[in-house]
Amino acid sequence: MIEKWAFALHFSSPVSIHSGLSAAGLVDRMVVRDHEGIAVIPGSSIKGRWRFVAERLLRSVDPGSMNGLWLHDEKMPDCKMSSPPCTLCKLFGNAAIQARLWIGAAELDETNKEYIRAIHQLRVNPVMHHDTEIRPGIALSRVRCTAMPDHLFFDETVPAMARFSGTIMVMGDISAAERNFLKLSARMVDKIGSRKAVGRGLLAKGIEIEMPGGEG
């Protein structure tokens, strides 16, 4: 059985998921874009942060009150196929176990996309995109807490207005407790992307999940 949920992300600060690409001498880290050149948040980035929050939540809750939810011992390797996996490995997967959750890329709404397509057509520039901003940053020395020489960099970011949305698929059955745990942990995801320590990628209401039938 495959269940489909919709999700949305409202960013209250500029966000960037960097692609590993740079524009030599101009922009050090550029955002991930889709086939039309419009900024997207890859599902893997969303899932990675959600998994981190879910693990922290499972670790912090009293095991007696968890309704059958549990987490493998942090000193032991991840769960394997041979025995029932913990809640985290079952839902989010690991190297040996296929995840129950599949998270698609989060895209801008169609009205925003139309606007960006129009801007892109007006000015074709291979480096500067008119739907994003270039923000400077500096690398700090961890030892002295001062700026390191020659470590000024420029990041491409999506401005803070953005609402993105996408689809989550749940493969196979999950229990009511697991469903509630996913809703709760999704709401607790506070930020996504680069430069979180300086306040980038802040989410207004976490990963906002809408389950069919208005359960979300």
Structure tokens at 191: 């930020």
Round to whole Å and give the CA distance between 188 and 50.
8
Task: Supply the minimum distance, in Å, between the C-beta of residue 72 and Zn ion.
Answer: 3
| Pick 67 or 141: Cβ nearer Zn ion | 67
CB 7 within 8 A of CB 207: yes
| Pick 23 or 99: Cβ nearer Zn ion | 99
Task: Supply the minimum distance, in Å, between the C-beta of residue 99 and Zn ion.
Answer: 12
Number of alpha helices (DSSP H) and beta strands (DSSP E) in the chain: 4, 7
| Pick 8 or 89: Cβ nearer Zn ion | 89
Contacts of 173 (CB under 8 A, 6+ apart): 1
| Pick 29 or 72: Cβ nearer Zn ion | 72
R_g over Cα of the chain: 20
Interhelix angle 43-60/176-187, rounded to 10 degrees, is 110
Task: Supply the minimum distance, in Å, between the C-beta of residue 100 and Zn ion.
Answer: 13
Residues lying near Zn ion in the complex (CB under 5 A) are found at: 72, 79, 86, 89
Task: Supply the minimum distance, in Å, between the C-beta of residue 23 and Zn ion.
Answer: 41
